[in-house]
Structure 1
Amino acid sequence: MSMLDLASRLSALPMGRGEAPWPGCEYVKGWGVFGLPLDSGHVLALRVFPENSFAPYRTLWHRDPQGRWSLYVDGPRLDTACPRYYGPACVRTAHARIELTWTGPASLRVVMDGADSPALDWTLTASVTPLLTLLNAAGAGMPAATWRSPFLLRLRERLAGALGLGRLQLSGVMPSGHTGTLMPQQMYFIDHARATLDGIDLGSPVRLRESPRIGDVTLPARGVLAIGQAAWEIRDRAAYERTRAETARGTGDDGPA
């Protein structure tokens, strides 16, 4: 294994609102745990998006063994975070406090609590292999336009399958109806993790035969931390501009871009 320092890279990313990689889209940019299946049947995921179309946020995703998803947002509004795209596939969306602490160069502790959320204590360590190092270097150098090519998207999906991530679908329709593209540009395996939810041990990382789904969107069949971005077509321009204006009051932005 190569030495890996994600803490230095990810702990102090700038916060702000920029431009989506393509016209007519809204976007997010940052990192997170793309998905982490556990041998108890639970699945966890984390999204940390300091830069996006509206306001910085963190979201903790949880799927129970019965397949029911919940999303918990540390951010100003639910409708400008992950529930905007995935909420219709969930049994619960709510606010929570989500604290992140890097305990080592590639080791992270995630603690969640709040009046409307369960208590979560989750530790994980990411790792990289020579093959991932090669693929990550290539991914970092490829322009965003390459994610609009159906051929290159399918190639990336096949590479993900070869890495044991299952049948990922990186472009399609979200549970909300937004059409979008997920762009994980660098990825790192998570083979070591522990988590307790309201004091219940959720077990150890596992590789599933089939990828977990939230709606029709697939997540990795093994634990992966990813750095990248995503973009979705704007469904209602007037509503988008109104939300941009409302959220600008808390970011120092001057209004719709």
Structure 2
Amino acid sequence: MGDAPWADHEYVRGWGVMGLPFDSGHVLALRVFPQGSFGPYRTLWHRDPMGSWSIYVDAEHVENACPRYYGPACDHVGAARINVEWTGPGSLHITMDDPAVDWTVTVARSPLMGLLNPLSAAMPLRSWRPHAMVRARELLARALGMGRLQMSGTMPSGHSGLLMPERMYFVNQSRAVLDGASLGSPMRMSENPSIGGVPLPARGVLAIGQAMWSITDPVEFDNARRVARRTYERKPQ
């Protein structure tokens, strides 16, 4: 557990596949956050071809992970065991128990991202406060083929959030099987997939960075932190 870099905010820090559309109409996403206001967690997101979202959570408290912000836009939220393994410098293997998911991801080495990533990582945290700077990052993401990605906005829960990637890598290969059925090949969509009005990338992207949300209810936040801290302190270190 930790404290957000900005006062009156809650946060997570880590990495994940921001979103990966498949030509079958399915969309997968992954979040791996070792640090955050409520402790570490992993989540796997799935959108079926009909547009129904599910978020599966590997954490002590499901309600304090991604469903805290995106749960109202989901048809299903639940606990699951999610295993994540790096099998090479840019290759990732993700499995989940129920529903059964077997998912491999390989990210590409891009000369352009090799130039942009160090510049992005070197930008000071205060550069995320001016709206013009956030907008410039969104326009750059659009130029890179991610579509109309929004890095700031209102979550389905009502929280005001800010996505702050420091480094990004394009997914160039992926294979996913859900309950024995292949999800097809990764693709770039003409329109961004979205969850509760929040757009995800139009193409597969793995990002490293953090996200912050304004605390909407300080009493609720303090209570949730207290419960999470007690659980964390009881776990063997």
Calculate the TM-score normalised by the size of structure 1: 0.89
- Equivalent of 2:58 in 60, 74, 77: 74
Aligned partner of residue 22 in structure 1, secondary structure: coil
Taking only the aligned residue pairs, the percentage that are identical comes to 59
1:173 aligns with 2:157: no
- Equivalent of 1:33 in 17, 25, 49: 17
Provide the rounded CA distance (Å) in 1 between the counterparts of 2:124 and 2:91.
29
Provide the rounded CA distance (Å) in 2 between the counterparts of 1:138 and 1:222.
22
1:121 aligns with 2:102: yes
Aligned partner of residue 220 in structure 1, secondary structure: coil
- Equivalent of 1:92 in 73, 76, 97: 76
What whole-Å deviation, never above 9, does each CA across 1:59-80 have from its counterpart, x for those lacking one? 0000000111000000011111
Provide the rounded CA distance (Å) in 2 between the counterparts of 1:21 and 1:166.
29
Q: Does the 8 Å contact 2:2/2:39 carry over to 1?
A: no
1:159 aligns with 2:140: yes
Q: Does the 8 Å contact 2:121/2:167 carry over to 1?
A: yes
Residue 234 of structure 1 deviates from its aligned partner by: 0.5
- Equivalent of 1:103 in 87, 101, 111: 87
Aligned partner of 2:46 in structure 1 is 62
Aligned partner of residue 163 in structure 1, secondary structure: helix
Provide the rounded CA distance (Å) in 2 between the counterparts of 1:68 and 1:40.
14
Aligned partner of 1:48 in structure 2 is 32
Aligned partner of residue 222 in structure 1, secondary structure: coil
Provide the rounded CA distance (Å) in 2 between the counterparts of 1:18 and 1:57.
13
Amino acid at match of 1:167: R
* Count of residues paired in the alignment: 234
Residue 103 of structure 1 deviates from its aligned partner by: 1.2
Aligned partner of 1:134 in structure 2 is 115
Aligned partner of 2:7 in structure 1 is 23
Provide the rounded CA distance (Å) in 1 between the counterparts of 2:131 and 2:195.
22
Provide the rounded CA distance (Å) in 2 between the counterparts of 1:95 and 1:208.
29
Pairwise CA RMSD of aligned residues? 1.0
Q: Does the 8 Å contact 2:150/2:198 carry over to 1?
A: yes
Q: Does the 8 Å contact 2:94/2:104 carry over to 1?
A: yes
Provide the rounded CA distance (Å) in 2 between the counterparts of 1:43 and 1:143.
32
User: Which contiguous aligned blocks of 4+ residues in structure 1 show a shift greater than 6 angstroms?
Assistant: none
Q: Does the 8 Å contact 2:14/2:208 carry over to 1?
A: yes
Amino acid at match of 2:213: W
Aligned partner of 1:246 in structure 2 is 227
Aligned partner of residue 99 in structure 1, secondary structure: strand
Amino acid at match of 1:43: V
Residue 250 of structure 1 deviates from its aligned partner by: 2.7
